[in-house]
Amino acid sequence: METPQNLAELLNADGFKSIPKSFIREILKVTAHSDIISFAGGLPNPAFFPVQEIQAAAMKALEKDGRRLLQYGESEGYRPLREYIAARYKQKHNLEVDPDVILITNGSQQGLDLVSKVFLNKGDRVLMERPAYLGAIQAFSAYNADIRTINLLDDGPDIERLTEILDKQKVKLFYGIPNFQNPTGISYSIEKRKQVAEIMNRFPSLFIEDDPYGDIRFSGENLPPIKSYLNEQTILLGSFSKTISPGMRMGWVVASKEIMQKLLIAKQLTDLHSNNLSQRVIYQYLMDNDFDNHINKINETYKRQCDLMVEAIMEYFPHDVKVTQPQGGMFLWLTLKESQNTMELFKIAIKEKVAFVPGNSFYPKNDCHNTMRLNFSNSDEIKIKQGIKILGNILKRNSS
Amino acid sequence: METPQNLAELLNADGFKSIPKSFIREILKVTAHSDIISFAGGLPNPAFFPVQEIQAAAMKALEKDGRRLLQYGESEGYRPLREYIAARYKQKHNLEVDPDVILITNGSQQGLDLVSKVFLNKGDRVLMERPAYLGAIQAFSAYNADIRTINLLDDGPDIERLTEILDKQKVKLFYGIPNFQNPTGISYSIEKRKQVAEIMNRFPSLFIEDDPYGDIRFSGENLPPIKSYLNEQTILLGSFSKTISPGMRMGWVVASKEIMQKLLIAKQLTDLHSNNLSQRVIYQYLMDNDFDNHINKINETYKRQCDLMVEAIMEYFPHDVKVTQPQGGMFLWLTLKESQNTMELFKIAIKEKVAFVPGNSFYPKNDCHNTMRLNFSNSDEIKIKQGIKILGNILKRNSS
């Protein structure tokens, strides 16, 4: 039985008219159970999921405090976990964060939804990097934001353009991923971080600093978050998805006290509070294990996989293809000749059992056709070589 | 450091101007760690949380499929869990539900948020029961709905009034809780269910059937969901919060195929997918245990607690107080004399170490001052007697 037309017409919330299903998640479905070499997803390497440690942590957490854990919890999140996160900012970045202004969310994606909910009215202007994280484009679009983009250069956003836009237009939020951006792998240099902070500081506008990959640095030195320079004017998002487990959906938001009060209301009416079981299990895991040692192991492997993929690209791809050189994260970004269309290449590649994400999805207006994103975290070294070779041949065949 | 005024002013999303923090969740904080007898919360009795069974299920789920479980999952939710839910509708209500149109959510509260997201534009009319579930008032308000209410009589909504409103005004959604409503404990009679379906069927408007308490029936017979009579025009919400664990935040939405496609996009951009760990653990729990037997044990106790509370009210409260006689759920609803103000009584009661929820919060316009909600699921028999006696004395002292 179909929904009658007059009912289907009710499905007309403004923000939803223009949002397509995530193409990436659709690709994931195609590639999940098949013999395809997939560089498409944004999946961490499951070899590093600490299954046994999580099992032990689950046992312990349920033993120690089972009834409390299975009951409703506080909307803010489990206090000891928030204290751990605060202490880690202090230790890693010498950043003072009060646990009171940390809200535990279902992955950092929910942080974007909650921030949108409390800030955005229809038509409010939001700045994003170009290209930008697809999940954020979708989240802001659902709240009818007017999205503008700023080119992402090799060392961060185009500062001249940022100044120009802020000078001319009222901008509510500027969203960026300063560490190993999705989709490009690009990081902001320390100078760019300072410049962004300095410029933002002159305008009544907030910087949304999304940092899901910060811990996944495999070369170069840790750089301070922009929040270090732009404290109360920054909303900082973090996540355990890339270090412990994405399936447990655990992220957080750090904001000022005033913003946190509103985010908390948004959290209450969205889903009351985050999953207690996962919060307690992750906390117990962090207490009983050497987290940094675990992260180092991930990073050693990711570095090898990243290096290998870059080398293979150098070897097999046409020489006019431009590739980023990330110091961490999970992605490479390729820019082909203007005349290329990666959506067309995708259709060919999928027939030859290799998948990637055509870059077009990462532009809010879908107006760039010659880029692609490659994920290196979730393929072993043999598949990386094989897959890149196949892609290289397709590119060469189609570049004349 | 405070947020500068010019930044605080950005926090002006329309839906958020009028939503107060949940008074109930604030009360919960006050009462959580103290010697207060609390009839305020909406907490299931933790004595029935199957801690050991959940522990065993967690072990097994992680053992069998740990790496997959900890990885990103599908936005729709874990397929076998959705099949279980579909089979249960068939078994319990002879209701045919395709697992494809079930979406797993973070408790049924998230269902409300997602439904609002795909349906509501500013000013869209939403009908609710009077009094109504606070979490739903909040969810719809955040999307700027124009909320109208229909009196809830002893056997369901005032049908005359429903017809009148639908005849005159364009209504997008009608939200109700036909089984053991929160806050009143009232259920729709079978006649009322049919009438609601019949009337709704004449208008292009959807019924949101929220059913978190359906399994918690301790007297009378199971009644068919309104979806049985109004199939594709109903969105049905369910939850494991009252039967297994609220802390694991597991609920679901059943909708038509067209609506599900939109809800799925909303789920993706809200938090990608629901918690895999909890989905797998609950599924494993359901496979390895007698769920109905577990529910029966809960219901036996809740019946005793409910009966005892009603008896104590008869004994200790002034005789002009009207109390509902629920056949399930977790709440009683009291209507006092017009001249009474339960918010004032709350202040006195809390000093005497007894808490309840003043009814005012459950009216979208906060325009009813002589009602209160009492929770019977989360207090033992001694506390129920003690607490009701204290409340009765306060009422008698203040009713002259």
Quick: pLDDT tens for B328-378: 999 999 999 999 999 999 999 999 999 999 999 999 999 999 999 999 999
**A12-43 residues labelled b (16+ CB within 10 A) or e (exposed):** ebebbeebeebbbbebbeebeeeebbbbbbbb
With a pLDDT cut of 70, the percent of chain B lying above it is 95
Average pLDDT over residues B211-228: 98
Mutation to test the B interface, candidates A270, A276, A285, A377, most B Cβ within 10 Å: A270
pLDDT at A27: 73
Give me the residue label for tokens 């590119």.
Answer: A395
Q: Does B367 touch chain A (CB under 8 A)?
A: no
pLDDT in tens, A187-230: 999 999 999 999 999 999 999 999 999 999 999 999 999 999 99
Look-up of token digits 């120690």: A64
The verdict on a CB contact (< 8 Å) between B142 and A269 is yes
Residues in chain A closer than 8 A to B78 (CB atoms): none
In this prediction, residue B325 carries a pLDDT of 95
Q: Residue B20: its pLDDT value, please?
A: 61
Query: Cβ contact (<8 Å) for A248 and B276?
Result: yes
Give the pLDDT confidence score for residue B373 in this predicted structure: 98
Residue A201, chain B, CB below 8 Å: the answer is no
- Which helix H or strand E contains B190, and what residues bound it? helix B190-200
Please name the residue of chain B whose CA is at the shortest distance from the CA of residue A281: B277
Tell me if chain B has a CB within 8 Å of the CB of A249.
Answer: yes
**pLDDT on residue A16:** 72
Q: Do B12 and A72 touch (CB under 8 A)?
A: no
How many Cα atoms sit within 13 Å of A389 on the Cβ side?
6
Q: Can you tell me the mean pLDDT for A387-393? A: 98
Which residues, including other chains, have CB under 8 Å from residue A87's CB and lie 6 or more apart?
A: none
Instruction: For strands B146-153 and B156-157, give the pairing.
Output: antiparallel
Residue A77 backbone zone (phi > 0: left; psi -120 to 50: alpha; other: beta): left
pTM above 0.80, yes or no: yes
A206 touches B at CB < 8 Å: yes
C-beta neighbour count of A300 within 10 angstroms: 11
Length of chain A: 400
DSSP A362-389: GSTT----SEEEEE-TTS-HHHHHHHHH
Quote the CA–CA distance of A178 and B216 in Å, as a whole number.
Answer: 49
Q: What is the mean pLDDT of chain A?
A: 94
Cα distance from B97 to chain A (closest Cα, Å)?
Answer: 11
Which residue of chain B comes nearest to A250, CA vs CA? Answer: B275
pLDDT at B1: 46
Looking up tokens 């003043």 gives B358
Looking at the predicted structure, is the pLDDT value of residue B381 above 60?
A: yes
Percent of chain A with pLDDT over 70: 95
Task: Tell me if chain B has a CB within 8 Å of the CB of A73.
Answer: yes
**DSSP secondary structure string for all residues of B380-398:** -HHHHHHHHHHHHHHHHHT
Helix axes A79-93, A276-288, angle to 10 degrees: 50
Distances from the Cα of B313 to the Cα of A297, B372, B400, angstroms: 63, 13, 18
Look at the block and give the residue holding tokens 């999953």.
Answer: A275
How distant is the Cα of B122 from the closest Cα of chain A, in angstroms?
9
* Chain B: residue whose CA lies nearest to A69: B247
pLDDT, residue A255, reads 97
Q: Round to whole Å and give the CA distance between B291 and B333.
A: 29
A33 reaches B (C-beta below 8 A): no
pLDDT of residue A316: 97
Chain A, window 314-343: residues with a beta carbon less than 8 angstroms from a chain B beta carbon? none
Q: Which residues of B touch A1 (CB under 8 A)?
A: 231-232, 256
Decide: A334 and A313 in contact? Cβ < 8 Å.
yes
With CB atoms and an 8 Å threshold, state whether A105 touches B271.
yes
Question: Rounded to the nearest 10 degrees, what angle do helices B134-142 and A257-271 cross at?
Answer: 120
Whether the predicted pLDDT of A298 surpasses 60:
yes
Q: Is 50 exceeded by the pLDDT of residue A239?
A: yes
Q: Which two tokens stand for residue A132?
A: 């930008």
Q: How confident is the model at residue A1 (pLDDT cuts 50, 70, 90)?
A: very low
Query: In chain B, what residues touch A2 (CB-CB under 8 Å)?
Result: 232, 256-258
In angstroms, how far is CA A182 from the centroid of its own chain?
A: 6
Compute the mean pLDDT over every residue in chain B, rounded to the nearest whole number. Answer: 94
All residues of chain A having their beta carbon less than 8 Å from the beta carbon of residue B52 are 66
Question: Chain B partners of A78 at a C-beta cutoff of 8 Å?
Answer: none
Mutate to test the interface with A, among B51, B231, B249, B294 (most CBs of A within 10 A): B249
Question: Mean pLDDT, to the nearest integer, of B214-243?
Answer: 97
ipTM score: 0.95
Report the half-sphere exposure of B314 (CA within 13 A, side-chain side): 8
C-alpha A172: how far from chain center? 21
Q: What is the pLDDT of residue B13?
A: 80
